[in-house]
């Protein structure tokens, strides 16, 4: 059998629209991308809708699909965030995304982000982690970046059908919400009760914590409350790596992408120098991609910056971030073993004029051994629409790569 492998380079939020600041070109058309164009000219190209035409997807959903899952496998944002910051998540766990916040003595939210606290969150989180509530239900709490954190309730008979304690922006100056059941089940009622109990305990512990006492003395807002949102129940889902019996590595700086990779059973490679922005360490990413493909079947290498610049409505900066992506792909291409396909993809479009994800398709390329080359010479949203892969879904794209690797079972006899 042919021993074929895949490296997929993912430019987050790459797809865009023509922009007046770029002479009515898309950032990808405008950017100088000799390496991406070379791959398009020697490979097969197409346009991909992650789920279906016109459906915007989040980074979490987009990556789950690129990692080999179907949309209905989506476990919710909370479980993915938790996995991404290295928490253990078990089937049945109820997972919440949280903020450290500041409330006053009347339960009024003074600041939803506790003065955008950045320091010593590990210390205060430790004080409210591993608290046993009632009937064996335990609360696990871990900080993420800045004021963000994740809470897990673990135990029997819990439900994710409960409301948020977070009043959401722009509601500073209003009280936090008491958590309420969202259906009439006993589980939802019990979970809401236990979460309210936890939030009260956490408030007492945090208010007296030395880090917060110090913050108040220094004139900073104390992180004395936890606002919860987006309850999600962890599903019992088979990791893609186990199902397909393959070894896969994922190289990324962003916790959402790392969480989705963890769910899929992929090996995770990250570093502080992979920043999730334009200053990310592309040399390291490229070097790891080449090292990892030696002992793995698939390697994913991710870059976040194009999405960030799309959200910031910065077409010139987005073009610059794409040139960086081109440079990273060039470094990989130079050392690519002969039996490895190099695929280019994105998880969704983030047009600069919108500043949010939209449902427009993204261009894709597969180049490598014995590929049915098409006549497209450049990698962008307009040229790739003429490509040999045509218009396909994210699931189709991944299956085509798996088929090239000999992983897809023949139908019939
Ligand atoms: Zn985004």
Q: How far is the CA of 234 from the centre of ligand 1 (A)?
A: 23
Q: How far is the CA of 412 from the centre of ligand 1 (A)?
A: 41
Q: How far is the CA of 178 from the centre of ligand 1 (A)?
A: 30
* 325: pLDDT strictly greater than 80: yes
Q: How far is the CA of 58 from the centre of ligand 1 (A)?
A: 7
Coil, helix or strand at residue 385? helix
**Residue-wise DSSP of 108-142:** BEEETTTTT--SSHHHHHHHTSSEE-STT-EEEEE
Question: For residue 238, what pLDDT band results from cuts at 50, 70 and 90?
Answer: very high
The two tokens of residue 45 are: 């190209």
* Closest residue by Cα to residue 134 from 160, 159, 154: 154
Question: What kind and span of H or E run contains 304?
Answer: none
pTM: 0.89
Q: Which residue has the higher pLDDT, 118 or 40?
A: 40
For β-strands 109-111 and 94-103, DSSP reports them as antiparallel
Q: How far apart are CA 392 and CA 346, in angstroms?
A: 13
**Residue-wise DSSP of 317-347:** HHHHHHHHHHHHHHHHHHT--TTEEEEEE-S
Homologous superfamily (CATH) of 5-74+238-404 is Alkaline Phosphatase, subunit A (3.40.720.10)
- Cα 7 to its chain centre, rounded Å, is 19
Question: What single-letter DSSP state applies at residue 221?
Answer: P
Domain boundaries, the chain: 5-74+238-404, 82-233
Q: What is the mean predicted confidence (pLDDT) over 235-260? A: 95
Q: Strand (E) positions, 155-211? A: none
Phi–psi pair at 366, nearest 5 degrees: -125, 120
Question: For residue 171, what pLDDT band results from cuts at 50, 70 and 90?
Answer: low
Q: How far apart are CA 37 and CA 133, in angstroms?
A: 57
Q: What is the mean predicted confidence (pLDDT) over 30-56? A: 98
For β-strands 5-11 and 298-303, DSSP reports them as parallel
Q: How far apart are CA 339 and CA 215, in angstroms?
A: 57
Q: How far is the CA of 252 from the centre of ligand 1 (A)?
A: 15
* 158: pLDDT strictly greater than 70: yes
Count the alpha carbons within 13 Å of 226 in the hemisphere toward its beta carbon. Answer: 33
* Closest residue by Cα to residue 118 from 202, 227, 223: 223
* 275: pLDDT strictly greater than 90: no
Q: How far apart are CA 322 and CA 307, in angstroms?
A: 10
Q: How far is the CA of 108 from the centre of ligand 1 (A)?
A: 31
């Amino acid at each position: 059998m042919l021993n074929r492998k895949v490296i997929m380079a993912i430019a987050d939020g790459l797809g865009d629209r023509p922009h007046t600041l770029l002479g009515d070109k898309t950032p990808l058309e405008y950017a100088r991308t000799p390496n991406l164009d070379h791959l398009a000219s020697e490979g097969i190209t197409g346009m991909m809708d992650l789920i279906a035409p016109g459906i915007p997807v989040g980074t979490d959903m987009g990556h789950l699909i690129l990692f080999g899952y179907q949309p209905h496998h989506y476990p919710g944002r909370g479980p993915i965030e938790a996995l991404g910051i290295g928490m253990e998540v078990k089937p049945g766990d109820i997972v919440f995304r949280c903020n450290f916040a500041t409330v006053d003595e009347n339960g009024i939210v003074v600041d939803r982000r506790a003065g955008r606290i950045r320091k010593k969150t590990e210390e205060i989180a430790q004080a409210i982690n591993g608290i046993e509530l009632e009937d064996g239900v335990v609360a696990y709490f871990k900080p993420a970046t800045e004021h963000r954190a994740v809470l897990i309730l673990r135990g029997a008979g819990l439900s994710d059908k409960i409301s948020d304690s977070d009043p959401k922006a722009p509601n500073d100056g209003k009280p936090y919400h008491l958590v309420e059941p969202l259906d009439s089940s006993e589980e939802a009622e019990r979970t809401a009760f236990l979460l309210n109990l936890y939030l009260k305990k956490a408030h007492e512990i945090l208010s007296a914590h030395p880090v917060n006492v110090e913050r108040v003395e220094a004139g900073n807002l104390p992180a004395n409350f936890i606002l919860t949102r987006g309850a999600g129940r962890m599903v019992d889902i088979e990791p893609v790596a186990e199902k397909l019996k393959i070894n896969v590595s994922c190289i990324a700086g962003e916790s959402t992408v790392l969480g989705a990779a963890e769910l899929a059973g992929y090996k995770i490679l990250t570093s502080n120098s992979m920043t999730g922005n334009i200053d990310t360490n592309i040399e390291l990413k490229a070097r790891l991609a080449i090292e990892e493909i030696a002992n793995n079947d698939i390697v994913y290498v991710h870059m976040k910056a194009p999405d960030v610049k799309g959200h910031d409505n910065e077409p010139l900066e987005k073009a610059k971030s794409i040139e960086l992506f081109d440079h990273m792909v060039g470094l990989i291409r130079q050392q690519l073993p002969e039996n490895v396909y190099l695929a280019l993809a994105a998880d969704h479009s983030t047009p600069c004029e919108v500043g949010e994800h939209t449902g427009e398709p993204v261009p894709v390329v597969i180049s490598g051994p014995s590929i049915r080359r098409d006549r497209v010479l450049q990698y962008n949203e307009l040229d790739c629409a003429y490509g040999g892969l045509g218009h396909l879904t994210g699931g189709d794209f991944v299956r085509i790569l798996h088929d090239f690797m000999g992983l897809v079972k023949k139908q019939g006899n």
